[in-house]
Amino acid sequence: MSNITESLENLARMDGAIVAALVDSSTGMLLGGSGNGLDLEIGAAGTTEVVRAELKTIKAMGLRDTVDDVLITLSSQFHVIRPTARNPEVFLYLVLDRDKSNLGLARIKVKDVDSQLEL
């Protein structure tokens, strides 16, 4: 198990990583962050709306499924959003430079961090 700070710093050290954060989607509050280049408070609040909408949609459709991750692709960035296994209202948020990162590896690393994260 690892703590929040260590986990986010681990993600932020990945090739192409810009920022990594842990966010509470019930409040939109940033629980921790690492990296620089983006305003994490704004990113956390905006991404919270994406997570809330997806969880609400799954519930409304009566699906007995969970979200592994949500991927948003921009022309210059990838945004990986992963609700944590222990508490789906809390999610990991990783922003990557599209030209400098490996998306497949990033998704695996976020999953690994989720499995080891102490909340």
Looking at domain 4-116, its CATH class is alpha beta
Tell me, what's the pLDDT at 45? 92
The tens place of each residue's pLDDT in the chain, 119 residues long, gives 469 999 999 999 999 999 999 999 999 999 999 999 899 999 999 999 999 999 899 999 999 998 999 999 999 999 999 999 999 889 999 999 999 999 999 999 999 999 999 88
Tell me, what's the pLDDT at 104? 96
> What's at 87, amino acid-wise?
N
pTM given for the model: 0.93
Tell me, what's the pLDDT at 119? 81
- How far is residue 16's CA from residue 45's CA, in Å, rounded to a whole number? 23
Domain residues of the chain, as ranges?
A: 4-116
